C-alpha cells in the first residue's frame, strides 16, 4: 500500500515496507511450586511498633446470626424477589424446618410441592429429611409410614432405601422388629424381588433380627452382604449402621474386623469410610464389653485418620465413663476437650455432675452444674430435672428444693417428672414433709403445662388420710381455684392497664406528631415571609431612579445657594448648554 499524502498534495511514490508479523502472545509462565522461591527473598518489612501491636492482636469474628435463621431469611428473600426455587432449595428448607423441630410445617410444605403438576417435584432428600424428623425426633411412625406411601403413589420418587432404613430404625427403637423385617421385604418386592444393593438398610435389618432373638439369621445376613462376591455398596453411614448393630449385641470381634476393613478402605479425599460416628460406635462397643481403656485409646486415634472429634463425641465417652464411676478419666477427657479448642455445652456439665454424684462427690457435682452460669450456658428443664433427681437420690431434699425454686424463678417450666420426683420424695419421708408435698401438688395444679395424674393424687390423698388430714386435700383444691380466679382477674386488670397505657402512648404520639407538624408549618411560613420580604426590598431598590452626577451636583449647589444647569426641568428633559468655539461662535 502507498502512504497517502494530505488532501491536495501529490502521493508519495515510495511504498511502505512490508509489515513485520506481530509476535503471538506468550502463554503465562507457570507459577512456582510451593516451597520454591520465584525471586530472591526480600527483606522483611519494618513496621512501626503500633502497627506490629495491632497486627499481633487476634481478630474477633463479628457476631453472626444462626445459620438456620439466615437460611429462612434467604428463602423469604428469594420468594419476594420471585426467584424460582429448585429441588435443592426445597430440600434445604425442609432440612431447616426439621432441625427447628417443626415437623408439621415440614410435612405441609412437602405435600405442597408434591401436588400433581408441581413445577419442581420433591427429591428423595426432601422425603428423607421429613421422615427423619417424624421418626427420630417425635416418634410419629404412623405419619412417617403414611408419607412413605404418598411418596410411592406420587410417582416423583421411587422406593428409596434411605427412607425405608429410617422407618426400620424407628420400629426397631419402638421394639417392633417384625415390622422392620416386613418393611425390608416390601422394599425388595418394590425392586422386583432383587436384593437391595444399597447397604443402608442392612444395619436396621440386623438389629431387627437381634431384637427378635434371631441371632443366627442376623449373622447370616451380615456374612452374605460382606461376602467377596457381594454387590452391595457400603458407604460411611451404612458401615456405621452395621457396626452399631454388631457392637450393641455383644459381637465385639466381628465389629473389630469390620472396623479394620473400614480403616483400610479409608483414603481421604478419594474415599471416606470412617467419620466421628464410626469412632463413637466403637467406643460404645468397647464400653459395652467393659474395656474402657481400649475405648479411650480408639477415641484418641481419630487424628491418625484426619477425623476431628466434636462435642457430641466427647460427651458420649464422658457418659460411658461416668456411668461406670470413672470420674477421674472423665475429667481427663474433659480437659483434653478444652485443649482441642472445644467448649463444653450443657450436656457436658450435666454428665460430669451425674458422674460425681455416682462417685459420692456431691460438692464437685453441684459445682459443675453451677459452672454453667460462668460459661454463659442456659440449662433447660431437662438439666434441672437431672440435678433435682440426683439430689433426691442422695436424700438432699432441701438442696433439690433450692434448684426447683431456681428453675421457677428463671421461668423454666418444670416437667411432670420433676414434680413427681419431689412429690414422691416428700411423701416417702413421712408426716414431717407432707406440707412440702402439698405445696408441690399445688404447683402442679396451678401449672397449665402439666396434668396432675390420678396416681399422684391418690398417693398424696392416702398420705394425708393416714395422718388424719383428709380436709387438707379439699382445702388445697379450694386454694387452687381461688388463686386461679385471682390470676384471671389479675390478667384482665393487666390487660386493661396495658390497653389504657397503649391508648395513652398513641395519644401522646399523635400529640407529638401534631406539635411537630405545627412547628414545621410555622417555620415554613416564616421562611416564606422572609423570602417575600427580601424580594419586595430588592424590587423596591431596583425601582428607585439611579443617582446621576447632575443630581449630586444639584444637591451640593442647592446647599450653597446656587442652581445647576437643568435644575427644575422635568425628568428626562435634555439639558441645553452653550459652548463657545475657537472662532468666537457659540453653539447650543
Answer for the pair 438, 472: CB distance below 8 angstroms, yes or no. Answer: yes
From 104, 136, 158, give the residue that closes a domain. Answer: 158
Answer for the pair 426, 390: CB distance below 8 angstroms, yes or no. Answer: no
SS3 sequence, 459-484?
HHHHHHHHCCCHHHHHHHHHHHHHHH
Smallest CA-to-CA distance from 395 within 360, 369, 352 is with 360
For the record, the C-alpha cell of 6 comes out as 494530505
Q: Are residues 153 and 101 in the same domain?
A: yes
Other C-beta atoms lying within 10 Å of the C-beta of residue 444: 24
Backbone angles phi, psi at 233, to 5 degrees: -95, 135
Spatial separation of the C-alpha atoms in residues 372 and 374, rounded to whole Å: 5
Residue 210 belongs to a domain: no
Q: Where would I find the H helices in 360-396?
A: 362-374, 381-393
pLDDT of residue 468: 85
pLDDT of residue 69: 62
Answer for the pair 164, 148: CB distance below 8 angstroms, yes or no. Answer: yes
CA dihedral for 374, 377, 378, 382, sign (positive or negative): negative
Residue 586 bridge partners (DSSP): 580
pLDDT of residue 344: 92
Residue 401 belongs to a domain: yes
Spatial separation of the C-alpha atoms in residues 566 and 554, rounded to whole Å: 9
Q: Are residues 464 and 475 in the same domain?
A: no
Backbone angles phi, psi at 6, to 5 degrees: -60, 160
Sequential pLDDT tens for the chain (588 residues): 344 444 444 443 444 444 444 444 444 444 434 444 444 444 444 444 443 443 444 433 344 445 556 666 666 666 676 777 888 888 888 988 888 888 899 999 999 888 888 888 889 999 999 999 999 877 789 999 999 999 999 888 889 999 999 999 999 999 999 999 999 999 999 998 888 999 999 999 999 999 999 999 999 999 999 999 999 999 999 999 999 999 999 999 999 999 999 999 999 889 999 999 999 999 999 999 999 999 999 999 998 999 999 999 999 999 999 999 999 999 999 999 989 889 999 999 999 999 999 999 999 999 999 999 898 999 999 999 999 999 999 999 999 999 999 999 998 999 999 999 999 999 998 888 889 999 999 999 888 888 888 888 899 888 888 888 888 888 888 888 888 888 888 888 889 999 999 999 999 999 999 999 999 999 998 888 888 888 888 887 665 554 444 444 444 445 445 444 444 444 444 444 445 444 544 454
Other C-beta atoms lying within 10 Å of the C-beta of residue 245: 26
Spatial separation of the C-alpha atoms in residues 193 and 255, rounded to whole Å: 29
Spatial separation of the C-alpha atoms in residues 291 and 283, rounded to whole Å: 9
Give all strands (DSSP E) within 291-435, no chain letters.
none
Answer for the pair 241, 165: CB distance below 8 angstroms, yes or no. Answer: yes
The enclosing H or E element of 586 equals: strand 586-587
Spatial separation of the C-alpha atoms in residues 428 and 422, rounded to whole Å: 10
Spell out the residues 6+ positions from residue 342 whose beta carbon is closer than 8 angstroms to its own: 309, 310, 311, 314
Residue 129 belongs to a domain: yes
Q: Are residues 493 and 427 in the same domain?
A: no
Residue 264 belongs to a domain: no
Spatial separation of the C-alpha atoms in residues 203 and 222, rounded to whole Å: 9
Residue 495 belongs to a domain: yes
Q: What is the pLDDT of residues 530-585, one digit of tens each?
A: 888 888 888 876 655 544 444 444 444 454 454 444 444 444 444 444 454 445 44
Domain count of the chain? 3
Spatial separation of the C-alpha atoms in residues 41 and 433, rounded to whole Å: 82
Residue 13 belongs to a domain: no
Q: Are residues 420 and 396 in the same domain?
A: yes
Smallest CA-to-CA distance from 246 within 275, 274, 212, 205 is with 205
pLDDT of residue 281: 96
Q: Are residues 474 and 409 in the same domain?
A: no
pLDDT of residue 324: 93
Answer for the pair 360, 391: CB distance below 8 angstroms, yes or no. Answer: no
Classify burial at 25, counting beta carbons within 10 Å of its beta carbon; exposed 0-12, middle 13-18, buried 19 or more: exposed
From 504, 524, 544, give the residue that closes a domain. Answer: 524
- pTM of this prediction? 0.70
From 158, 191, 225, give the residue that closes a domain. Answer: 158
Q: Are residues 95 and 154 in the same domain?
A: yes
Spatial separation of the C-alpha atoms in residues 44 and 41, rounded to whole Å: 9
Q: Are residues 146 and 118 in the same domain?
A: yes
Residue 106 belongs to a domain: yes
DSSP 49: H
pLDDT of residue 15: 42
pLDDT of residue 542: 61
Spell out the residues 6+ positions from residue 571 whose beta carbon is closer than 8 angstroms to its own: 545
**What is the C-alpha R_g of the chain?**
45
Q: Are residues 85 and 130 in the same domain?
A: yes
Q: What is the pLDDT of residues 192-233, one digit of tens each?
A: 888 899 999 999 999 999 999 999 999 999 999 999 999 999
Q: Which domain holds residue 519?
A: 469-524
Residue 323 belongs to a domain: no
pLDDT of residue 197: 93
Amino acid at each position: 500500500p502507498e502512504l497517502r499524502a494530505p488532501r491536495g498534495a501529490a502521493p508519495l511514490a515510495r511504498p511502505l515496507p512490508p509489515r513485520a508479523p506481530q509476535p503471538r502472545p506468550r502463554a503465562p509462565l507457570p507459577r512456582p511450586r510451593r516451597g520454591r522461591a520465584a525471586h530472591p527473598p526480600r527483606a522483611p518489612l519494618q513496621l512501626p511498633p503500633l502497627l506490629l501491636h495491632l497486627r499481633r492482636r487476634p481478630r474477633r469474628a463479628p457476631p453472626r446470626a444462626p445459620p438456620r435463621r439466615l437460611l429462612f431469611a434467604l428463602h423469604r428473600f428469594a420468594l419476594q424477589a420471585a426467584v424460582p426455587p429448585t429441588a435443592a432449595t426445597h430440600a434445604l428448607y425442609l432440612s431447616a424446618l426439621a432441625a427447628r423441630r417443626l415437623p408439621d410445617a415440614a410435612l405441609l410444605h412437602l405435600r405442597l410441592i408434591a401436588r400433581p403438576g408441581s413445577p419442581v417435584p420433591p427429591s428423595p432428600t426432601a422425603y428423607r429429611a421429613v421422615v427423619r424428623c417424624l421418626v427420630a425426633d417425635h416418634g410419629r411412625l404412623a405419619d412417617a409410614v403414611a408419607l412413605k406411601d404418598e411418596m410411592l403413589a406420587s410417582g416423583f420418587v421411587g422406593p428409596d432405601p434411605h427412607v425405608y432404613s429410617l422407618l426400620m430404625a424407628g420400629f426397631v427403637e419402638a421394639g417392633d422388629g417384625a415390622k422392620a423385617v416386613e418393611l425390608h421385604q416390601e422394599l425388595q418386592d418394590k425392586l422386583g424381588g432383587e436384593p437391595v444393593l444399597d447397604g443402608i438398610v442392612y444395619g436396621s435389618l440386623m438389629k431387627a433380627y437381634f431384637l427378635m432373638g434371631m441371632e443366627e439369621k442376623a449373622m447370616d445376613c451380615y456374612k452374605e452382604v460382606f461376602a467377596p462376591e457381594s454387590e452391595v455398596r457400603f458407604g460411611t453411614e451404612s458401615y456405621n449402621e452395621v457396626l452399631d448393630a454388631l457392637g450393641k449385641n455383644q459381637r465385639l470381634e466381628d465389629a473389630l474386623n469390620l472396623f479394620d476393613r473400614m480403616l483400610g478402605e479409608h483414603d481421604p479425599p478419594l474415599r471416606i469410610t470412617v467419620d466421628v460416628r464410626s469412632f463413637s460406635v466403637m467406643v460404645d462397643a468397647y464400653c459395652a464389653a467393659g474395656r474402657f481403656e481400649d475405648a479411650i485409646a480408639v477415641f484418641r486415634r481419630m487424628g491418625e485418620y484426619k477425623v476431628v472429634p466434636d462435642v457430641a463425641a466427647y460427651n458420649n465417652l464422658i457418659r460411658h465413663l461416668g456411668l461406670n464411676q470413672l470420674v477421674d478419666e472423665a475429667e481427663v477427657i474433659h480437659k483434653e476437650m478444652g485443649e482441642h479448642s472445644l467448649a463444653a455445652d450443657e450436656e457436658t456439665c450435666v454428665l460430669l455432675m451425674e458422674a460425681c454424684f455416682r462417685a459420692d462427690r456431691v460438692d464437685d457435682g453441684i459445682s459443675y452444674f453451677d459452672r454453667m452460669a460462668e460459661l454463659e450456658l442456659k440449662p433447660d428443664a431437662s438439666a434441672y430435672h437431672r440435678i433435682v433427681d440426683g439430689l433426691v437420690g442422695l436424700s438432699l431434699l432441701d438442696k433439690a428444693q433450692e434448684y426447683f425454686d431456681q428453675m421457677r424463678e428463671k421461668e423454666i417450666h418444670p416437667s411432670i417428672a420433676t414434680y413427681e420426683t419431689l412429690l414422691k420424695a416428700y411423701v416417702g419421708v413421712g408426716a414431717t414433709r407432707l406440707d412440702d408435698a402439698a405445696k408441690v401438688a399445688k404447683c402442679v395444679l396451678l401449672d397449665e403445662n402439666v396434668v396432675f395424674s390420678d396416681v399422684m393424687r391418690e398417693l398424696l390423698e392416702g398420705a394425708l388420710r393416714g395422718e388424719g388430714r383428709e380436709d387438707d386435700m379439699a382445702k388445697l383444691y379450694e386454694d387452687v381455684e381461688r388463686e386461679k380466679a385471682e390470676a384471671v382477674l389479675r390478667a384482665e386488670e393487666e390487660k386493661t392497664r396495658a390497653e389504657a397505657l397503649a391508648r395513652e402512648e398513641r395519644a401522646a404520639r399523635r400529640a407529638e406528631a401534631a406539635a411537630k407538624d405545627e412547628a414545621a408549618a410555622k417555620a415554613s411560613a416564616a421562611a416564606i415571609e422572609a423570602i417575600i420580604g427580601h424580594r419586595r426590598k430588592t424590587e423596591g431598590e431596583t425601582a428607585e431612579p439611579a443617582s446621576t452626577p447632575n443630581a449630586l451636583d444639584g444637591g451640593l449647589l442647592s446647599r450653597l445657594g446656587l442652581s445647576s444647569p437643568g435644575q427644575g426641568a422635568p425628568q428626562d428633559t435634555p439639558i441645553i448648554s452653550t459652548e463657545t468655539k475657537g472662532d468666537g461662535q457659540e453653539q447650543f
